[in-house]
Amino acid sequence: MQLPRWWELGDPCAWTGQGRGTRRMSPATTGTFLLTVYTIFSKVHSDRNVYPSAGVLFVHVLEREYFKGEFPPYPKPGEISNDPITFNTNLMGYPDRPGWLRYIQRTPYSDGVLYGSPTAENVGKPTIIEITAYNRRTFETARHNLIINIMSAEDFPLPYQAEFFIKNMNVEEMLASEVLGDFLGAVKNVWQPERLNAINITSALDRGGRVPLPINDMKEGVYVMVGADVPFSSCLREVENPQNQLRCSQEMEPVITCDKKFRTQFYIDWCKISLVDKTKQVSTYQEVIRGEGILPDGGEYKPPSDSLKSRDYYTDFLITLAVPSAVALVLFLILAYIMCCRREGVIQLVHHSAIQKSTKELRDMSKNREIAWPLSTLPVFHPVTGEIIPPLHTDSYESTNMPLMQTQQNLQHQTQIPQQQTTGKY
């Protein structure tokens, strides 16, 4: 397995392939600007020791080609197999990785990459990472351990740090040694430092970025932080002038003279560049001034002794239950008196019964009394002669069958109204 060359821009800095483990810089490159650690699994040992430096980008490649030989049936020499393989990485004894270590594998047919920037708190503490490979075709597994021994770095941290946002790269593309080397070479030409280290790489998705649409070969974007030992160059500080700040506020690209040195391969969003000068950072620690809201120092906490007197809660229990129970009982009695003893419905029922009784009595009385004759049956005067016309009924006439109004044919002495005679035919 041939290791990729680190630098191809003619710089005297070069990586040597001493062994198949962690790459180290040759002695001829003393005072170089890059301390990024790249490691690849060895085919000889299952467990591997690596020695990254705190505050320097650490990258470890999990090659599928190595793990293919771990799954039966074992391929013969020259035989090509392309089984899908995925990896699971975790800190030994824990379900996840350390906070500073990230892992990415885009597809089961690409290599996995562990990357991150070790912190100074983990210096001298070996970190064992369990790496489990899964063959998605045969469901076979293989497990190896990666022992990370974090070493302290000189001049850590570097006093001047700059973070760039590259829009046309994904994180796994930026982690490739050749691509990262080209970017650091462009930064070196602009910054001109004596020491330049890649500190960290972060995907834009980890910073709250949106997943790009799968059109026009759009990328997620990646943040790359580098550190140097000399102040920022005038080109890098151009983004801080008022004109460029105004253009950034209007979502326009600022005018940067050194952008052409990156534009051939990297599209940098200069509005998102971050320049940190740790030599000018003021400590945020403030002395606590005691005042309102801050209790005086009472010394060490003294817990109560074991010889505490027992307390009788029987009286408290009775009071707690008796008072609410008495109030509830009084309310219940008042409600029962209102509902049972002072019901308005009983009075209404008595009144209704009296009305029904009176109605029945009236109906019985109406059956026995004589019915008065209607006015139409009384004697009336003839409208023409003025004679009194006797009533149309006799005493023996049954009043119940007598109609109230008589027809004109039945009336005696009824005046006939002459009708106009018409001649001719219709």
Residues 6+ apart with CB under 8 A from 313: none
Secondary structure letter of residue 120 according to DSSP: G
- Residues 83 and 166 placed together within one structural domain of the fold: no
At residue 31, the 3 state secondary structure works out as coil
- Residues 114 and 167 placed together within one structural domain of the fold: no
* Interior/surface letters 364-399, b for 16+ CB within 10 angstroms, e for the rest: eeeeeeeeeeeeebeeeeeeeeeeebeebeeeeeee
CA–CA–CA angle 287, 292, 298 (5° rounding): 75
Q: What's the pLDDT at 339?
A: 79
Domain that holds residue 257: 160-277
Last residue of a domain, one of 98, 118, 150: 150
- Residues 270 and 172 placed together within one structural domain of the fold: yes
Q: Which of 88, 90, 91 is nearest to 105 (CA)?
A: 88
Residues 6+ apart with CB under 8 A from 374: 404
Structural contact between residues 53 and 153, judged by C-beta atoms closer than 8 angstroms: yes
- Residues 135 and 85 placed together within one structural domain of the fold: yes
- Residues 128 and 57 placed together within one structural domain of the fold: yes
- Reported pTM: 0.56
For the four alpha carbons of 135, 139, 144 and 145, in that order, the dihedral sign comes to positive
- Residues 86 and 172 placed together within one structural domain of the fold: no
Let me know if residue 308 belongs to a domain: no
Q: Whole-angstrom Cα distance, residue 7 to residue 33?
A: 12
- Residues 132 and 164 placed together within one structural domain of the fold: no
Let me know if residue 10 belongs to a domain: no
Q: Which two tokens stand for residue 220?
A: 């997620």
- Residues 194 and 249 placed together within one structural domain of the fold: yes
Q: Whole-angstrom Cα distance, residue 166 to residue 155?
A: 27
User: What is the chain's pLDDT, residue by residue, as a tens digit (426 residues)?
Assistant: 333 333 333 333 333 333 333 343 443 333 333 444 454 444 444 688 999 988 899 999 998 888 887 887 766 666 667 889 999 999 999 999 999 999 999 999 999 999 999 988 888 888 999 999 999 888 889 999 999 999 887 767 788 999 999 998 999 999 988 999 999 999 999 998 888 889 999 999 988 888 888 777 788 999 999 999 899 999 899 988 999 999 999 989 899 888 888 888 899 999 999 998 888 765 555 665 666 666 667 777 787 777 777 888 888 888 899 999 999 999 999 998 887 876 666 567 777 788 888 888 888 887 776 555 555 555 555 665 656 666 555 554 454 444 544 444 444 544 555 555 555 544
CA–CA–CA angle 217, 203, 160 (5° rounding): 125
Q: Whole-angstrom Cα distance, residue 294 to residue 297?
A: 9
Q: Which amino acid is at 147?
A: I
Structural contact between residues 41 and 3, judged by C-beta atoms closer than 8 angstroms: no
Q: What is the CATH number of the domain that holds 137?
A: 2.60.40.10
Structural contact between residues 398 and 369, judged by C-beta atoms closer than 8 angstroms: no
Q: Which of 113, 117, 136 is nearest to 54 (CA)?
A: 117
Q: Whole-angstrom Cα distance, residue 54 to residue 150?
A: 6
Counting the structural domains of the chain, the total is 2
Let me know if residue 303 belongs to a domain: no
Q: What's the pLDDT at 76?
A: 67
Let me know if residue 62 belongs to a domain: yes
Q: What's the pLDDT at 42?
A: 41
- Residues 273 and 167 placed together within one structural domain of the fold: yes
- Residues 131 and 188 placed together within one structural domain of the fold: no
- Residues 186 and 221 placed together within one structural domain of the fold: yes
Let me know if residue 246 belongs to a domain: yes
Q: What's the pLDDT at 304?
A: 76
Q: Which of 291, 102, 121, 290 is nearest to 207 (CA)?
A: 102
- Residues 62 and 166 placed together within one structural domain of the fold: no
Last residue of a domain, one of 105, 125, 150: 150
Last residue of a domain, one of 221, 251, 277: 277
DSSP string, 317-375: HHHHHHHHHHHHHHHHHHHHHHHHTS-HHHHHHHHHHHHHHHHHHHHHHHHHSPPPPPG
Let me know if residue 214 belongs to a domain: yes
Q: What's the pLDDT at 374?
A: 54
Let me know if residue 363 belongs to a domain: no
Let me know if residue 229 belongs to a domain: yes
Q: What's the pLDDT at 33?
A: 38
